[in-house]
Amino acid sequence: MTELKVLIISDSKPGHYTQSQGLLNQLEKKLEIKSSVLQLKPRIKLANRVLRNMLNRNSPYAERLFRWFYRFNLPQILACSPDLIISTGGDTCGANALLAKKYQCQNLFLGSLRGHDPSLFSAVISTTPLPGVENCIVLDVAPTLVDQDKLKQTATTFLKDKQISRDEKLWTMLIGGEGSGYQFSARDYQDLAQSMLTLAKKHGIRWLLTTSRRTGLTNEKVLQAALQGRPEIAHAVYYNEKPEKVMQAYLGAGRMIFSSEDSTSMISEAVSAQKPVITFRSDVQDINPGHEALIRRFSQQGYIRRVEITELADFSLRDFQFNKIDLEKNYDQILRLIKTE
């Protein structure tokens, strides 16, 4: 196979598209690929369920329903059949299976099948085993857009633009908020800010800090009251006040990465940066079981160390054993599947 024609089916949700594109980026390191994107959205949510039932029964009317109940524009790549279809998210699951059957090509779906027959897919990609799904490929970490070379380039440009020395010892702080069962109070953010100042003094570092949409403007004000103008902060982005895309630069420039536990995507990007990662949480939580399982596995494999916010100031480098994830090995099974079919 000289050139692999790949179709990504997107539901326009950034988190889903990031995983599909992240997987494509990894495949492009080993294969010559021509890619295209199909933007797709059901006119009504019920369409997903009806299409799933038709596909599971191998109904001849599935394609007709698809054309009636989904909004999409078929890209030019479909004029010549794709060799591989990739998608993430429930709204794309049925379309992935239907188009793979229509064009007799391989297909990969990232996520939970939501009742779809696993045999509709060449492989189902997940970060946790899926019971009853024999063709499930379990990755150590979900695909991200993190690339080591790009991280270095982005960090170099960022530091030059912000007039921060490349020799400076920087740590990165990624702050989220409520989500996946985690809750953070104003006191938690006050404790976090104080811990950052304590750690900066103890280890001779400065911080690259960014909040997120989940942090909320009120909680950002708490952080700003404690940190704004402090010499321990090399650069800060308060997302709800003034959003700025600094994730790649921060991951590239920081020697260690700290992240709140509420976002698996933030933690996955941090782990993919192949640097020591420390995650923190409050003592008020009712964590989603799937989220907890993934975080616990990261901890058991040595990719992260978990601490309470109240313990953060006492964090010791001597106690931290860090295992760097092997990203190439992470995708070996997928590459073997594609090359052998």
Same domain flag for 89 and 225: no
Same domain, 25 and 117: yes
Determine phi and psi for 32, rounding to 5 degrees. -85, 120
Q: Are 83 and 4 in contact (CB under 8 A)?
A: yes
pLDDT greater than 90 at residue 321: no
Q: Report, as an integer, the average pLDDT of 178-199.
A: 94
Q: What is the largest CA-CA distance in the chain?
A: 68
Contact 34, 6 (CB under 8 A): yes
Q: Across residues 110-138, what is the average pLDDT?
A: 95
pLDDT tens sequence across 278-315: 999 988 778 888 889 899 999 999 999 999 999 999 88
C-alpha pair distances (Å), 289 with each of 16, 175, 193, 294: 20, 21, 29, 9
Q: Which residues form the domain of 55?
A: 4-140+330-340
Cβ proximity of 235 and 161 under 8 Å: no
In a domain, 325, yes or no: no
Quote the strand ranges of 43-190, DSSP E: 70-72, 84-88, 106-110, 123-126, 136-138, 170-174
Domain count, the chain: 2
Distance CA 53, CA 115 (A): 9
CATH number at residue 280: 3.40.50.2000
Distance of CA 218 to the CA centre of its chain: 26
Q: What percent of the chain has pLDDT over 90?
A: 77
Phi, psi of 12 (to 5 degrees): 70, 5
Q: Do 122 and 163 sit in the same domain of this protein?
A: no
Do 75 and 208 fall into the same domain? Answer: no
Average pLDDT, the chain: 92
The beta-strand segments (E) located in the chain are: 4-10, 33-42, 70-72, 84-88, 106-110, 123-126, 136-138, 170-174, 206-210, 233-237, 256-260, 277-281, 304-308
Q: How far is Cα of residue 34 from the mean position of the Cα atoms in its chain?
A: 23
Q: Are 48 and 64 in contact (CB under 8 A)?
A: no
Helices (H) and strands (E) in the chain, counts: 12, 13
Domain-located, residue 179: yes
DSSP letters of 305-319? EEEEGGGGGG--GGG
Residue 324 lies in a domain: no
Contacts of 68 (CB under 8 A, 6+ apart): none
Given a cut of 80, whether residue 19 has pLDDT beyond it is: yes
Please check whether residue 255 lies inside any domain of the structure.
yes
Do both 305 and 284 map to the same domain?
A: yes
User: Is the same domain home to 205 and 131?
Assistant: no
- Strands 233-237 and 256-260: what pairing? unpaired
Tell whether 95 and 10 lie within a shared domain.
yes
250 found inside a domain: yes
Q: Judge whether 86 lies within some domain.
A: yes
User: Sign of the CA dihedral 201, 204, 206, 209?
Assistant: negative
Question: What is the distance between the alpha carbons of residues 253 and 88, in angstroms, rounded to a whole number?
Answer: 30
Same domain, residue pair 155 and 259: yes
Q: What is the CATH number of the domain that holds 78?
A: 3.40.50
The region of weakest confidence among 64-73, 112-121, 328-337 is 64-73
Same domain, 136 and 274: no
Q: What's the confidence (pLDDT) of residue 340?
A: 65
H or E segment and range at residue 129: none
pTM of the model: 0.88
- My answer on whether 93 and 170 are in the same domain is no
Joined tokens for residue 128? 């946790």
Q: CA torsion sign, 308 to 311 to 312 to 316?
A: negative
Q: Give pLDDT, residue 76.
A: 54
Yes or no: say if 106 and 100 are a contact pair by the CB < 8 Å rule: yes
Asked whether residue 156 is domain-assigned, the answer is yes
157 lies in a domain? Answer: yes
Tokens read off for 135? 């063709």
Distance of alpha carbon 249 from the chain centroid: 16
**What confidence tier does 75 reach under pLDDT thresholds 50, 70, 90?**
low
pLDDT of residue 1: 54
70 or 73, higher pLDDT: 70
Asked if residues 256 and 278 have their Cβ atoms less than 8 Å apart, the reply is yes
Contact, 133 vs 121, CB < 8 A? no
Q: Are 130 and 155 in the same domain?
A: no
301 plus 227 within the same structural domain: yes
Q: Are 140 and 38 contacting, i.e. CB atoms less than 8 angstroms apart? A: no
